[in-house]
Structure 1
């Protein structure tokens, strides 16, 4: 393959998709093509009909004039010849016949007194000859027909159009009634053919102009139609970007104006619905936040009391009959404390006030510290090499690990195995238990707030917010968590965090804030 061929093929590969999209997706192009096809069909049909009608009119007019002249010459001149003329007589008469107003070539055929066939040609002897006349025409001319009440003559005039060496001709022949020579005529239709060619060119030019005019008309029509559609598309994109105050300027009473009004009504309804939902959502968040803050004050006092009661339990100073109730109060107070803390954390995420405080951490050391602080060393197996560093928020990573490992210990089976590996620019942490796994109908909901797999355990330990908070903490790092069942048994939670979350701690500039607010 030559370099030029390679360049052409490369250009086609690079631009083929663009042309394909233009061909199949451009409404303007489709309108122009449809207008063009309609105009082309109409112009070609009209030109074809006009050409055919003019062709038949021109040829018929010329043909009728020539045949009338030839028939009259045969009656007047050929009919005046004796029944057995000589060749000179035929030659002279043929020349006279050819000098008529239509200027055609004549060939006369007869038998002389000796019965020999003689020919008379209006031109030279090597001019118009019997071989130039189609055999079928000669047979029809010389065939004697029966004379009846409807057929008064035994011989008739017959004609045929032929093409010889690219030139069209009219050939006709007849026999003198009552005995006499047989005459043939040859008339060139080249002038008429040239006139028809000129007509065809004129009609072709008219068709091209009609096609060009239809393309311009289609362009103008498509511009008129597509401008409102384009404005509607731009407005729809702005609406999709969250700019709910987008409206279209409506003018006119046509269908496009009705569509614009419908869009404006829908946008207004959507804006009102979103505003109402945002107001209710803000009110709900404020309620949760206020409730959490209000609960903290009495909880502080209750927690202080439960700590005293717990010390009394350890020292044996509590009546054995009251012991179960005191232990229940201590347990439920701790659970209520965790619930309030989780609610406040969720409120910060919903309000968008949660922020990262990143530090360079050794992932293995951070995991070890997490499980050691919660006395899980005997129940957790750690498969992680030291030296895997990442810039993360240590407190939020601790929250994620505590929720994942605590969930595995609570609902799975020991031992819980934690594996750490590096993948591209990410740190991947897998937490796997040896329990029965997660039911397939539960998998899509494990990260939902307050979701519990067993409806029969509504008061089980935990608030149903742990995995949701872990996922939010992963998202704020720019990562994520997925849940699945291992082929070897048990559930596997996979945490993916970027190696460096520092860019997420930067405040957006004024332009980005304005864009986000819009």
Structure 2
């Protein structure tokens, strides 16, 4: 019985193959057909006399799947290797970027706190290396300017009297804004008094305020009541007295201009003390210079 069924399948397969051969010959088309134990590929070829011959190529089932598993294994191994390599390279690049950014931030904080010798080693991506080079150039330029300013002060032969309170005196201004006021007032002394004229700086704390006094031995300020408004009326917010007055007003304080014991201007800027609670937003004052 089994032999009979096998014979019938063989005859059916032979009949199907014959049908496909005739179709390929008559239609002159390439045909691929699955047959028992494999595949056949039929390729018609036109001969002289318009006769058609069909080339048959049989591929066993074992040949179709030979090496497929090994190929998939190799491809999977390569995929895992590529992913692992990509993760490693990304991690290394990310670490360099983070390390470079952190060093640049640390150097910036150190420079802001007065360490003019701080420098960074340019490293990381091109943008961070350029930022490092620019930072070093800026720090070097600041050092040069400070040296020039110190030489200028020494050449002018000015005497300076400092009287500073040793008690912490927090006011409702940022450190930059307080520095802007001091810089503007002292800058006025050097720009608007003759060389050699003495000056003094005094900081005093009262129960509710802090007083910053800057005085000089110059010619003084004519019409002191209108001096701050002269700066704002010209459209410039960078005049030194205007900066000091607006800073004092921002804290609820005042500014007074008189003639002092040294014979010149005697400027008293009063800042109201900051409340003991943690301060939030602080007023910002323009840092342009002038008088």
State the TM-score bracket (shorter-chain normalisation): 0.3 to 0.5
TM-score by length of structure 1 reads 0.27
TM-score by length of structure 2 reads 0.42
Tell which structure's C-alpha radius of gyration is larger.
Answer: 1
